[in-house]
A = this chain, B = another copy of it.
């Protein structure tokens, strides 16, 4: 485990006297960018200091642009001027919510110029030198960073978080890793906010199911293996679990629901598996990171839960919810998952990643 008690102790020692760390957002005006702004408001460690976006928005203050979240636009962001992308300038720590059409190159430039890029974009996720990080699951993958800097010749580095439907699945699977994961079949029912803004046309979404999300199934299948993989001899070995995903879009605002069946290498009793979910914990909980949920996995006993409209926002949207654990006649076990796709599945995930990096002294 990379995060050690001594690291925590050191952090605790210096926290009182330490000022908040300036951070920037790349791609601040999109759906995930707005979620970053909302979550960074009043953050105890980070101070939102810089907002960058495409040329079209650049030059306006953030308060002049349309704000589409139900929460109020944070005052500390409203007055910031939205600037263009400019690697090398501004805060060292930047969160990227850039569109994948430009994220690949832009994030590289920022990393080369010395920034720590904590990205939600898909472009670098499968790069063998880039951690695909979920702090509760694979904190040790941060050990890729020195290798990344060295091999890429960058002064900074890139850390990514997984696709929104992947992250929900990967956390649940991590809780069951001890039982030897063999095969996983998942069908997702994904919320509209996962497609960004404007995203899905209302004529497609209303009272309908769209049984296809471009490129999403491969992401779930491939990213999960990397996330659950072991860091060994300077590289991440993908986990051998076989995964099959079907991804669909349903008319829900926030919260991806997933129907999961799994095959394990061991026989596990119902109560053991329940305990594995309920007791699951990791470095964010040990370190009491500001965005860490008290429990990464919450098991709901009611037979008709979790439900996106009722449960996704619980615990600040950072827990994933599990329900309906029961035996599967085909693979052995099945259950329902739910996670908030723009918080735990995007902006909140990246912020938790950055908090872990800070707590490990990586940004010192």
Contact = CB atoms under 8 A, between A and B. Distances in A.
Interface in A192-240: 192-193, 197-212, 221
Given A197-B201, A208-B307, A308-B209, A259 B246 contact: yes
Interface string A29-45: 00100000000000000
Interface string A62-101: 0000101110100000000000000000000000000000
B336 A211 contact: yes
A50 interface: no
A183 B183 CA distance: 14
A252 B253 CA distance: 12
B70 A323 contact: no
Q: Report, as a range, how many residues of chain A touch the other chain.
A: 35 or more
Given A243-B329, A251-B207, A307-B209, A261 B185 contact: yes
A187 B183 CA distance: 17
* Chain copies in the assembled complex: 4
B305 A211 contact: yes
A198 B200 CA distance: 8
Nearest to A263: B330
A314 interface: yes
A302 B132 CA distance: 33
A103 to B, nearest CB: 21
B252 A212 contact: no
A9 to B, nearest CB: 33
Contact of A304 (B210, B244, B261, B334): B210
A339 interface: no
B261 A323 contact: no
A319 to B, nearest CB: 11
A202 B251 contact: yes
A206 B204 contact: no
A242 interface: yes
Contacts of A252: 206-209, 251
Contact of A203 (B31, B203, B206, B211): B31
Interface of A: 31, 66, 68-70, 72, 183-185, 187, 189, 192-193, 197-212, 221, 242-244, 246, 248, 250-253, 257, 259, 261, 302-311, 313-314, 323-324, 328-331, 334, 336
Given A185-B261, A205-B206, A246-B261, 9 more contacts: A68-B204, A187-B259, A189-B189, A192-B203, A198-B201, A204-B307, A205-B205, A206-B207, A206-B253
